[in-house]
Structure 1
Amino acid sequence: MTQASLHLTLRAMSRDTVNTICAALPGADWSEPFGPGHDVWKVGDKIFAAIGAQGTGVSVKTPDVETAQMLIDAGVGVKAPYFHKSWIHLPLDAETEELRHRITASYDLIRASLTKKAQAALAPRA
């Protein structure tokens, strides 16, 4: 296997990993609102995770701008392109548990921002 094909294989596996993590969350819906190749995950019609067509990483919400900046300063991620400053962009080759933690934290933040009625319609998160 060449270095280039290994890199593409790792990227594909990581995109699949992110999508698997997102799909397991109650009420999570996948769509491509920005066109083919953009994996966008929503709960209650609000985005909690997004992978761009270039597949360089996954963008997730943090509680606030300060948390996002702290994570950027710590080298966990970078500023998420096209999103508010409270979002970060994690590389797809990050550790699976780090991806799971950041994705579920983003999901929990977005889910908590939904109306009480919308929250009640969702299955509990295990």
Structure 2
Amino acid sequence: MTRELVNEICQGLAGATWSDPWSGGHDAWKVGDKMFACIGVIQDGVSVKTPSIEDAQLLIDMGRGVKAPYFHRSWVRVDWTAVSKDELRDRIETSYGLVFSGLTKKLQREISGT
């Protein structure tokens, strides 16, 4: 799996937008101007948000991710060569859902078109 697959998954999510906030070759995916996925310059995986610090630690303990450098402890970096396409999609969609649910109800309605 590659950066292109991650970008394809992210691009398909409602209201998702791409940016390179540090101008160094990062792919930062946001919804409502809040980041839910980020690929670094090294390109060895994608950093995503988890529901809690405990969930992130569980994924790390299980070998399903590592601590995401420069992010809060509730984020993990998922090595896209070590997980299935379905698991990668699930991690990205979970992160997106967590970030989306933290947006205002008004913004959620605007993004979802309801």
TM-score normalized by structure 2? 0.95
Secondary structure (helix, strand or coil) at the match of 2:10 reads helix
Counterpart check, 1:62 vs 2:21: no
Question: How many residues are treated as equivalent by the alignment?
Answer: 112
**Deviation for aligned residue 1:123:** 2.1
User: Which stretch shifts more, 114-123 or 18-27?
Assistant: 114-123
CA displacement, residues 100-126 of structure 1 (integer Å, 9 cap, x when unaligned) = 0000000000000001111010126xx
Give the aligned CA root-mean-square deviation in angstroms: 1.0
**Structure number with larger C-alpha Rg:** 1
For 2:106, the equivalent position in structure 1 comes to: 117
Moved over 3 A (4+): none
What residue ranges of structure 1 are gaps of 5+ in the alignment? Answer: 1-12
| Distance in 2 between residues matched to 1:121 and 1:99, nearest whole Å | 27
Letter of the 2:107 partner, please give it. Answer: A
| Identity value in percent | 55
| Distance in 2 between residues matched to 1:33 and 1:64, nearest whole Å | 25
For 1:15, the equivalent position in structure 2 comes to: 3
For 2:30, the equivalent position in structure 1 comes to: 42
| Distance in 2 between residues matched to 1:97 and 1:110, nearest whole Å | 20
Secondary structure (helix, strand or coil) at the match of 1:122 reads helix
| Distance in 2 between residues matched to 1:37 and 1:96, nearest whole Å | 23
